Amino acid sequence: MAQRRWSLAALALAPILTLGACDQLRDVWGRMTGQTHVEEPGPAPLDDVPLAARALSGAIQPQAEMAAILAPDPVLIAPGQILVGARVERELSDAASDMGLATSLARSLRADGIEALERLPDEVATQVRVRAETEAASIATNAAQDTLRRLGINGDITVRPGGVVTVDLTSGVSPTALRRNKQIAAESGERAPAAIEWSPADRCPRIISQAQLENDIALATRCAIQRLAQSGDFEFVEPNYIADSGFTRPPRRDQPSTTASQPPPATPPVSTTPMPIGGVPNDPLYALQWNYRARSGPNSSPGGAGFVAFWEAHQIGARNVRVAVLDTGLDLSHPDMHDAANVVTGVDLITNPERGGDGDGVDADPNDAGDRCGAVTENSFHGTHVAGTIGAAATNDRIGVAGGAWNVTIIPVRVLGHCGGELADIVSGIRWAAGLAPVVTAANQQIVNQTQADIINMSLTIQAPCPASMQAAIDAAVARKVIVVVAAGNKANRAALYAPANCNNVIVVGAGDARGDLAFYSNFGPEVDLIAPGGDVFADSDSDGRPDGILSTRATQSGCYDPLNSSSTERCYYSFLQGTSMAAPHVSAALALLAAQTGLRGRDLENALFTRAVSPFAAHFGEIECARSANATPLAFGSSTCARQSGRGRLDLALAAQSLAP
């Protein structure tokens, strides 16, 4: 009889116990996200959102594969492509005189060059600069043609806005040489644009025949660069380097996707919940974004950048702050990017249709048409991941992940395509984003940037000294109060070896991991200004069964699963990645938040970042686990902790938020 009463009681309590178990699970999730009750503001429970709004990709990677990521890559250039700098500053004074401007202005331009333009009204300065660029480019074109004629080789010469003249030697070599170079590229993988390895130590032979030049595009490129530089007629002469996004992945264990982009879900999730103005966001995957948390205290992460403290002070950004993302473009089919209010019309600046993969050249469509390099890789959607961290997708909308700046204007500038991006396109991207010069389509139509960027994010690297064309574009952008944020590079090497990290007038960002240390792959050295969360997909420091990577917007069909029950899914729209590419957008997002809060721009905004939002290192050295570094210096004899020069400190917006507390 007693047993029967207990059985009846158990039946009666079963629903209550079941509800209690659900509440317990929700409480666990709430503690992970900093919320003790579901009813309070915070991330939506995973089972309350559609699969497409929560499925993700990323697993902890085998330690044995770390070495492959750090292996050196060859320096590549586009065959037959040369960048020549017109002497624009020499023509500024004559341009002013021809326009009938005051003699004193002409003298000032002769003495101070480009810097003197900043003292003029914008319209007048633009007219003087464009006139000087046009005249200087004409002179440079004639000089380049004369040099090539003496060398005995033909070349097509194109003038780009901004005083950069490009020389294309492919019309001056035999079709056999071009076919041979394309065959070499094809052997490296499907749809790989032609490229040649470059070493500045290689010299043009003193005695060379016409036949040698016509049958060897690499030799013709090297000799033309040397002769053009020796002429002394140009501001600079350099090869058209091929930049890399730094996107690294372990070898694929499944079949790659063959599509350039993934279609959105049949019914994209739509939020019906009003979006509050700050606090902990309700995006369901926010619980996995350790990178935004405070470095200490409840619900913290030692490697976090303190964004949540800024949000809790109701500082979430503003649409009048504009960040240009020079990258692979945006996957506009992504459910968090489709018709996103934070994204404005950008531009595709990839001139080589083979590299662009979209069948055309320069146009106003920044959609990521793919950047895969070889038959066994998939498209990285690198720019979408980077832009998502800055704030391209809506935050606090019960969909996917949170971005650093909830309100911001993202300007997508596509400069990286199949197997990387060309220096000439990147330089055009900097100038266009800064409002310095329009770009010209294949149909000879101009595209003018109507929304000059306040911040430019470049998560890309070239293993070369800072190209003069890139430095000139950066300097001109900074003169217009644009801040340029760049990635330090991912080879655990000196940042001084990689552009744009070795350029002047940039903020160089190294990567930190979830433990607060310098990431094992991050480049280092005095060029690095600070570190920000870059992640580590080879570690799981919080033992949650997921990698310590940076989770952001990226579509894939590889390794997708539902975090609610770990079951595999056909595709997903969020991925864990690692890299200084992931660190740089944290700094761009932080600058955007500070710009919205203070109204500052340019150098004043940069100073505010370092004085208010950086936790300083001792003697500019960041710590790194010795076991993960082959050549770092131990802090003490026998210590397991090493140090590398890594800038002024860690990004920490919680410090800036302290002054905002009521």
Distances (CA, A) of 484 to 102, 114, 478, 587: 34, 19, 7, 10
Which pLDDT value is given to residue 619?
86
| Residue 205 within any structural domain of the chain | yes
| CA pair distance 145, 153, nearest whole angstrom | 10
Check the CA dihedral 506-511-514-516 and report its sign: negative
Which pLDDT value is given to residue 188?
53
382 is catalytic: yes
Do residue 334 and residue 393 come from a single domain? yes
Do residue 232 and residue 300 come from a single domain? no
| Residue 70 within any structural domain of the chain | no
| CA pair distance 34, 308, nearest whole angstrom | 11
| Residue 500 within any structural domain of the chain | yes
Q: Which residue has the tokens 């094809």?
A: 186
Catalytic residue among 575, 581, 588, 646: 581
Whether residue 318 is predicted with pLDDT greater than 50 in this model: the reply is yes
Strand, helix or coil at 90?
Answer: helix
Do residue 325 and residue 195 come from a single domain? no
Do residue 310 and residue 183 come from a single domain? no
581 is catalytic: yes
More confident residue, 321 or 259: 321
Catalytic residue among 382, 418, 586, 620: 382
CB 48 within 8 Å of CB 552: no
Catalytic residue among 233, 327, 358, 397: 327
Q: What is the pLDDT of residues 106-157, one digit of tens each?
A: 777 777 777 777 777 878 888 888 889 999 999 999 999 999 999 998 899 9
Do residue 512 and residue 583 come from a single domain? yes
Do residue 227 and residue 340 come from a single domain? no
| CA pair distance 91, 96, nearest whole angstrom | 9
- Range with lowest mean pLDDT among 266-275, 309-318, 633-642: 266-275
Which pLDDT value is given to residue 175?
65
Distances (CA, A) of 583 to 58, 511, 536: 18, 5, 11
More confident residue, 297 or 337: 297
Do residue 539 and residue 590 come from a single domain? yes
| Residue 13 within any structural domain of the chain | no
Which pLDDT value is given to residue 623?
93
Do residue 182 and residue 298 come from a single domain? no
Q: Is the peptide bond before 500 cis (omega within 30 degrees of 0)?
A: yes
φ and ψ at residue 318, rounded to 5 degrees? -155, 150
Residue type, 655: L
| Residue 444 within any structural domain of the chain | yes
Do residue 129 and residue 212 come from a single domain? yes
| Residue 565 within any structural domain of the chain | yes
| Residue 638 within any structural domain of the chain | yes
Structure confidence at residue 241 as a pLDDT band (50, 70, 90): very high
The domain of 166 spans: 76-243
Q: What is the pLDDT of residues 268-298, one digit of tens each?
A: 454 444 555 789 999 999 999 999 999 999 9
| Residue 52 within any structural domain of the chain | no
Out of 223, 243, 263, a domain closes at: 243
Do residue 234 and residue 177 come from a single domain? yes
Which pLDDT value is given to residue 187?
56
Number of domains present in the structure of the chain = 2
Q: What is the pLDDT of residues 525-536, one digit of tens each?
A: 999 999 999 999
Task: Give the 3-state DSSP-derived string for 105-158, with helices as H, strands as E and coil as C.
Answer: HHHHHHHHCHHHHCCCCHHHHHHHHHHHHHHHHHHHHHHHHHHHHHHCCCCEEE
334 is catalytic: no
Mean pLDDT of the residues in the chain: 87
Do residue 192 and residue 290 come from a single domain? no
Which pLDDT value is given to residue 661?
61
Do residue 327 and residue 218 come from a single domain? no
Q: What is the pLDDT of residues 32-87, one digit of tens each?
A: 444 433 334 678 889 889 999 999 999 999 999 999 999 999 999 999 999 999 99
Out of 197, 215, 243, a domain closes at: 243
The domain spanning residue 640 has which CATH number?
A: 3.40.50.200
